[in-house]
Amino acid sequence: MASAKRTSSYWVAVVHRVSGVALAAFLPLHFWALGQALEAGGLDAFLSWTDQPLVKASEWAIVTALAAHLGCGLRVLALELLPWRDWQKGLAASAVALTLGVGLAFALAL
- Residue 16 · residue 69 · CB < 8 Å: yes
**Interaction of residue 28 with another protein, rule CB under 8 A:** yes
**Rg (the chain; Cα; Å):** 18
The count of other CB atoms within 10 Å of the CB of residue 69 is 21
**Interaction of residue 67 with another protein, rule CB under 8 A:** yes
- Residue 64 · residue 106 · CB < 8 Å: yes
Binding-site residue total for another protein (CB under 8 A)?
Answer: 51
**Interaction of residue 30 with another protein, rule CB under 8 A:** yes
Interface characters, 68-97, with another protein (x: CB under 8 A): --x--xxxxx-xxx--x----x--------
For residues 60 and 4, give the distance between their C-alpha atoms in angstroms, rounded to a whole number.
Answer: 33
For residues 71 and 73, give the distance between their C-alpha atoms in angstroms, rounded to a whole number.
Answer: 5
Rule CB under 8 A: which residues touch another protein? Answer: 1-7, 9-10, 13, 17, 20-21, 23-24, 27-28, 30-38, 41, 43-44, 46-47, 50, 63, 66-67, 70, 73-77, 79-81, 84, 89, 102, 105-106, 109-110
